[in-house]
Amino acid sequence: MLSQKLRKPELLNEIVSNQGVARGNNEKKSTFRLLRPGRNVIAEDQPGFEWQAVEGASNFEVQIADSRGREVAKSGQLPASATQWSPVTPLRRGVIYSWAVIAIINGQTVTSPAPTEPEMKFKILEASKMRQLEQLRVRGFSHLALGVFYAREGMLAEAEREFQLLVKDNPASQIAASLLRAVQLWR
């Protein structure tokens, strides 16, 4: 904090990659988007997976894989009205995952993200970091302390929220504004 700057966590380079890794030979773009979790670190070990509603879909299936590409969870067939799902068992902390949704749309199988698009990756916060976060929350630490913690761990939405509150509470602070801009540029 003495330098008044935040360094982007290296982990974000891996999970926010814009390069697609070919996972098949379908060159079509996805016709629907995955919404969350996406390309950051999250605290929840049973996250809610959300995607856009799709007209003409008859069903969906969510698939979650670890960083080695091994399937670790699967939703099974979900109804056409579904736009979210959560795994029944917790995912392992400290692991990077990728996820995809397979939809049957007008009789055709469509995967999002498409095989040639970047994977939708996320990481679940390590257990030791989760304990640190819980201590920060219990002690009622400032927006600055929470924002810095979230930023260092790659929890972008949370860091941005805390820095926005910090700016609101300290509108004349150049440091607060600088921290907020830094995190927003990482997205």
Residues 6+ apart with CB under 8 A from 127: 93, 94
Task: Report the CATH number at residue 55.
Answer: 2.60.40.10
Quick one: 117 and 157 in the same domain?
no
Query: Does residue 142 form part of some domain?
Result: yes
Query: Does residue 170 form part of some domain?
Result: yes
Q: What is the pTM of this model?
A: 0.86
What per-residue confidence (pLDDT) applies to 81?
94
What per-residue confidence (pLDDT) applies to 28?
58
Which domain range does residue 134 map to? 127-185
Please report, in tens digits, the pLDDT of each residue of the chain (187 residues total): 445 678 899 888 888 765 444 444 455 566 799 999 988 999 999 999 999 999 999 999 999 999 999 999 999 999 999 999 999 999 999 999 999 999 999 999 999 999 889 999 999 999 999 999 999 988 877 999 999 999 999 999 999 999 999 999 999 999 999 999 999 998 7
Quick one: 21 and 63 in the same domain?
yes
Quick one: 49 and 131 in the same domain?
no
What span, in angstroms and rounded, lies between the C-alpha atoms of 87 and 64? 9
Domain boundary among 124, 141, 168: 124
What per-residue confidence (pLDDT) applies to 2?
43
Quick one: 19 and 74 in the same domain?
yes
Quick one: 119 and 137 in the same domain?
no
What span, in angstroms and rounded, lies between the C-alpha atoms of 49 and 27? 24
Query: Does residue 85 form part of some domain?
Result: yes
What per-residue confidence (pLDDT) applies to 137?
86
Domain count, the chain: 2
